[in-house]
């Protein structure tokens, strides 16, 4: 892991979010990770669509665990894994070119929805049914987003860090940390940036079965975050390391060993309790056998469910969306409006800034498999 000078901590500290462009930011429901419950539906969305969402919410309420121990037992046996990470980019073709030519990813699938003015592209190092992937979202006419200070970086395992860095440099990419051993350790790493400014930590891991191996997020209370991800999300604390010299602590969370699975890296910088989330990074999608039980477990352990479990309007895939303990901030005047079947428009009244949530979306395993058919 990267160790930074004591004055800087691990990564940037809190900063103000940049204004969202005046036009609406159109995102797929799966990409946005949040939706309104039945009581928040616009008046124009009535009849069958509203009834289905209300029925889903009622079904979620009907699931009841007899105790927190019962809930934990179910969570521990649920079939979960990290499916993909979702974020927004300003130039989809340019980003795809960088990821495929410099980082060795493949385009797994792509869908353009011109009537809703957005495009999704899924990239990664193997089939989505067995590998962690990236979902890029491009909204027509929006060429820039604020990454914020809460998001840290993605991690990619490669056979040779030096060769990867030279390829990135040859293609005109930005190298922000030259190859070399991590401070206090032996693992060779480097840092590069993609065209939108997202940071990638390149780690030397020859022969790794899961090259896209990390998502790093900064948190304001590490113990609280660890407890939430263990109990509400069913993750395991794989390792934890304190670095008092550089004033930060990291915790690796996931659903299996780091050498074989993608993991969530939580970073706490001493004395920093809050971060601006920006509007670029969206969330991680996690597979589950039952979104209704998942939502109840999250509520039992103090989590916030921002999209009640149930099928997305217009399609059959069942999801539920939650916020982690670090939550999110929205500038007064912003609002979410459910429109056009399964689409969400994030509008900013009076062109004020909007901060995106640090959210996780749980997706029904069977429904997700059907999407890939």
Could you give the CA distance from residue 6 to residue 4 in angstroms, rounded to a whole number?
A: 6
Domain around 255 = 25-371
Q: Assign residue 90 a region: left if phi > 0, alpha if psi is -120 to 50, beta otherwise?
A: alpha
Q: What DSSP character marks residue 124?
A: E
- Quick check: is 10 in a domain? no
What does pTM read for this prediction?
0.77
Q: How much is the average pLDDT of 251-270? A: 96
Binding residues for Zn(2+): 135, 153, 201
- Quick check: is 9 in a domain? no
Three-state DSSP state, 349: helix
pLDDT of 317 > 60? The answer is yes
- Quick check: is 3 in a domain? no
pLDDT of 85 > 60? The answer is yes
pLDDT averaged over every residue in the chain? 79
pLDDT of 270 > 50? The answer is yes
- Quick check: is 18 in a domain? no
Which tokens go with 149?
A: 């200070």
- Quick check: is 260 in a domain? yes
The CATH number linked to 41 is: 3.10.180.10
Q: How much is the average pLDDT of 193-201? A: 96
Percent of the chain's residues with pLDDT above 90: 63
Which tokens go with 343?
A: 């689409």
pLDDT of 93 > 50? The answer is yes
Q: Is 39 a catalytic residue?
A: no
**The pLDDT of residue 358:** 56
The answer to whether 248 touches 222, Cβ cutoff 8 Å, is no
- Quick check: is 57 in a domain? yes
In terms of Cβ atoms closer than 10 Å to its own Cβ (0-12, 13-18, 19+), residue 39 is exposed
* 265: confidence class by pLDDT, cuts 50, 70, 90: very high
Q: How much is the average pLDDT of 185-196? A: 94
Strands 359-364, 318-323: parallel, antiparallel or unpaired by DSSP? antiparallel
Q: How much is the average pLDDT of 141-168? A: 96
Per the structure, how many domains does the chain have?
Answer: 1
Catalytic residue among 128, 201, 210, 296: 201
- Quick check: is 8 in a domain? no
pLDDT of 324 > 90? The answer is no
Helices (H), the chain: 29-32, 48-62, 68-77, 92-101, 161-170, 222-231, 291-300, 365-371
**The pLDDT of residue 316:** 83
Name every residue whose Cβ is closer than 8 Å to that of residue 81 and which is 6 or more positions away in sequence. Answer: 132, 255, 256, 261, 286, 287
- Quick check: is 69 in a domain? yes
In terms of Cβ atoms closer than 10 Å to its own Cβ (0-12, 13-18, 19+), residue 273 is exposed
**The pLDDT of residue 201:** 98
Binding residues: 135, 153, 201
**pLDDT tens digits, one per residue of 67-76:** 999 999 999 9
**The pLDDT of residue 10:** 52
Percent of the chain's residues with pLDDT above 70: 74
């Amino acid at each position: 892991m990267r160790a930074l000078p004591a004055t800087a901590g691990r990564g940037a500290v809190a900063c103000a979010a940049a204004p969202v462009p005046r036009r609406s930011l159109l995102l797929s429901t799966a990409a946005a990770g949040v939706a309104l419950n039945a009581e928040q539906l616009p008046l124009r969305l009535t009849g069958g669509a509203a009834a289905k969402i209300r029925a889903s919410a009622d079904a979620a309420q009907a699931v009841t665990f007899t105790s927190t121990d019962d809930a934990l037992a179910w969570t521990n046996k649920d079939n979960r894994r990290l499916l993909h990470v979702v974020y927004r980019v300003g130039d989809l073709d340019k980003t795809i070119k960088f990821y495929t030519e410099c980082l060795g990813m493949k385009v797994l699938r792509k869908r353009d929805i011109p009537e809703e003015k957005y495009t999704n592209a899924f990239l990664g190092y193997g089939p989505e049914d067995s590998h962690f992937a990236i979902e890029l979202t491009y909204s027509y006419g929006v060429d820039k987003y604020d990454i914020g200070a809460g998001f840290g970086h993605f991690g990619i395992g490669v056979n040779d860090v030096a060769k990867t860095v030279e390829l990135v440099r040859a293609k005109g990419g930005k190298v922000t940390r030259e190859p070399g051993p991590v401070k206090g350790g032996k693992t060779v790493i480097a840092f590069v940036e993609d065209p939108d400014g997202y940071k990638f930590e390149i780690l030397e891991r020859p022969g790794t079965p899961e090259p896209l191996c990390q998502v790093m997020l900064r948190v304001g209370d590490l113990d609280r975050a660890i407890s939430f991800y263990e109990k509400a999300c069913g993750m395991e604390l794989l390792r934890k390391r304190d670095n008092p010299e550089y004033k930060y602590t990291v915790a690796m969370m996931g659903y299996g060993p780091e050498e074989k699975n993608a993991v969530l890296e939580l970073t706490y910088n001493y004395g920093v309790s809050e971060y601006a989330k920006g509007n670029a990074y969206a969330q991680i999608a996690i597979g589950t056998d039952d979104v209704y039980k998942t939502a109840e477990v999250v509520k039992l352990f103090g989590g916030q469910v921002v999209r009640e479990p149930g099928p997305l309007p217009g399609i059959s895939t069942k999801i539920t969306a939650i916020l982690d303990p670090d939550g999110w901030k929205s500038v007064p005047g912003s609002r979410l409006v459910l429109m056009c079947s399964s689409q969400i428009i994030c509008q900013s009244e009076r062109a004020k800034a909007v901060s995106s949530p640090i959210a996780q979306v749980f997706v029904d395993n069977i429904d997700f498999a059907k999407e890939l058919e």
